[in-house]
Amino acid sequence: MKKDQYDVQYKEQFQEHIDKVQEALEMENMEEFRTEFLENHPYDQAVFFQQQDEERRSQIYTYLSPEEMSEILINIDLDDVVEFFEEMDPRYAAMIFAEMPVDDAVDILNELDKEKVVSYLTIMDKESANDIKQLLHYEEKTAGSIMTTEYVVLFENQTVAETMNQLKKEAPDAETIYYLFVLDDDKHLVGVLSIRDLIIADHDTLIKEVMSTKVVAVSVAKDQEDVAQMFRDYDFLALPVVDFQDHLLGIITVDDILDVMEEEASEDYSKLAAMSNTDIKDDTAIRSARKRLPWLVILLFLGMLTATLIASFEETLEQVAILAAFIPLIGGTAGNSGTQALAVSVRGMATGEFENTGKWKLLGREALTGLINGVFCGIILAAIIFIWQGSIYLGILLGLSIMGSLLVATLAGALIPMLMNRLNIDPAVASGPFITTINDLISTLIYFGMATAFMSYLI
């Protein structure tokens, strides 16, 4: 069977199954609903759940246990899942939080009103509430805020046999057991052990004899973006989090890092678009305007500088009016080139590709790139202008102007994010609109400065 045919057949079968689930829900047949619904992957369950209206969702709450519901909710985007907790019975919601992985529960609770968080923690059983409280006080976007405390702890002097028995008891409640972290008697992190090494070791062997002492760990205060970078560099599935004395506080798993990567990418995209953060679907027009307005006002004043600069060359424009026709061309091309260099520079710093020496190499490369592009664009534009207007001097003027503008704009696009990074400002705020506006100002100055110099040849 061809792949396309298989995909179509699978989708048809899946849709038939979902229709049965929907029918059982509408017929209020709880037993059939549970049988059909729980056969699906939690992600598919989450998709089905989100498609229901509030009345049907309330019905699902009565059909599923808090543990089953928690598996669904951790597969829903954070912005959307908050809405569902608002409509639940508080006791049912508290039981769901108690069943969730601690790090997921903390992520959701951080989005809720403080009064509701206190209420849920009061209703919750004491052990679960204490686990959540341990993580709630960590600063957002740090390793501490995304770690989980649900992991298996080994000690270096226990045997492999003892460890296997321990795993049978504790593994069902652990976030992951692919990596097992080993402590000494003072609870310092001293080693790491893979499940594979544990299985092939003799039962009487001590853990310290088979563990690796080369453990990569992160500080609890480390920025989550730096943690994500470490996962990418080392291909980790889990990473231990320690305090300043190397006491193990928790672990971060790869599924949490995937969420961090998505969040950071969304945030950087927003900054590159000159917004405080991306507009979510529930934002009102007023909220959206409030997020976008600060940058627009800043760009408005920068644009006024460009307009003032053009006005200062009014005499030049009066003598050679055709110059005004090429202002958008020069500014737009320079802005595009600057934005390209900006993307390369921001990405290089975000991924750690450019160290101190690498930054100078980047600047040199971008300068040469801007020069090459400027020469080619200048030659092409000069030829077009000569054919169109029949003026060799106007063609030379525009060719040199666009060459100089592209060189400076490309350098600015690469250099400004580096300067912001040096000042401990997120380079992503050197957004596309910001670079474009700055380059409009620079290219206008270059263009009219050269036009004034060429004036005797143009009249």
Percent over 70 (pLDDT), the chain: 88
pLDDT of the residue at 211: 93
pLDDT of the residue at 232: 84
- Above 60 in pLDDT, residue 281? no
User: Which residues on neighbouring strands pair with residue 155, listed in sequence order?
Assistant: 183
Torsion of CA 207, 209, 213, 216, to 10 degrees: -40
Least confident of 71-85, 122-136, 184-198, 410-424: 410-424
Rg (CA), the chain: 30
Residue 147 token pair? 């770690």
Least confident of 28-32, 243-247, 305-309: 305-309
pLDDT of the residue at 9: 67
CA–CA separation, 64 vs 411, rounded Å?
59
Give the residue among 165, 192, 176 at the shortest CA–CA distance from 248.
192
Residue 311 — very low, low, confident or very high, per pLDDT cuts 50/70/90? confident
pLDDT of the residue at 45: 92
Give the residue among 178, 135, 180 at the shortest CA–CA distance from 153.
180
Average pLDDT over residues 141-155: 89
Q: Angle 390-392-398 (CA atoms, 0-180°, nearest 5)?
A: 105
pLDDT of the residue at 297: 79
Question: What are the tens digits of pLDDT across the range 209-264?
Answer: 999 999 999 999 998 888 988 888 888 888 999 998 899 999 998 888 888 887 77
Torsion of CA 294, 298, 304, 310, to 10 degrees: -140
pLDDT of the residue at 17: 80
Question: What are the tens digits of pLDDT across the range 172-201?
Answer: 888 888 889 999 988 899 999 988 989 999
Q: Angle 453-457-459 (CA atoms, 0-180°, nearest 5)?
A: 105
Q: 186: burial class by Cβ within 10 Å (0-12, 13-18, 19+)?
A: exposed
Q: What is the pTM of this model?
A: 0.60
CA–CA separation, 192 vs 216, rounded Å?
9
User: Quick one: DSSP state of residue 454?
Assistant: T
pLDDT of the residue at 233: 83
**What is the CB neighbour count within 10 angstroms for residue 395?**
21
Residue 379 token pair? 């030659």
Cα–Cα distances (Å) from 417 to 259, 398, 428, in that order, read 25, 29, 7
- Above 80 in pLDDT, residue 36? yes
pLDDT of the residue at 448: 86
Q: Options 3.90.1300.10, 3.10.580.10, 1.10.340.30, 3.30.870.10; which CATH number does 153-270 get?
A: 3.10.580.10
- Above 60 in pLDDT, residue 272? no
CA–CA separation, 120 vs 94, rounded Å?
5
CA 264 to chain CA mean position, Å: 2
CA–CA separation, 285 vs 309, rounded Å?
34
pLDDT of the residue at 269: 58
Residue 306 CA neighbour count, 13 Å, CB half: 20
The DSSP-derived string for 246-279 is: -BEEEEEEHHHHHHHHHHHHHHHHHHHTT-SSPP
pLDDT of the residue at 161: 93
CA–CA separation, 231 vs 222, rounded Å?
13
Give the residue among 267, 238, 241 at the shortest CA–CA distance from 255.
238
- Above 70 in pLDDT, residue 279? no
Average pLDDT over residues 130-136: 86
Query: What's the CATH number for 285-458?
Result: 1.10.357.20
pLDDT of the residue at 218: 93
Higher-pLDDT residue of 342 and 257 is 257
Give the helix/strand (H/E) hosting 186: none
Residue 275 — very low, low, confident or very high, per pLDDT cuts 50/70/90? low
Task: Reduce the DSSP state of residue 459 to 3 states and report it.
Answer: coil
Cα–Cα distances (Å) from 21 to 25, 42, 45, 52, 69, in that order, read 6, 14, 10, 12, 16
Cα–Cα distances (Å) from 103 to 125, 131, 137, 172, 244, in that order, read 17, 10, 12, 17, 21
Q: SS3 helix, strand, coil % of the chain, rounded to 5?
A: 70, 10, 20
| Mean pLDDT for the chain overall | 84
> Domain map of the chain by residue range?
41-137, 153-270, 285-458
- Above 60 in pLDDT, residue 414? yes
pLDDT of the residue at 178: 84
Query: What's the CATH number for 41-137?
Result: 1.25.60.10
Residue 296 CA neighbour count, 13 Å, CB half: 7
pLDDT of the residue at 390: 84
pLDDT of the residue at 432: 63
Q: Are 342 and 414 in contact (CB under 8 A)?
A: yes
Higher-pLDDT residue of 9 and 14 is 14
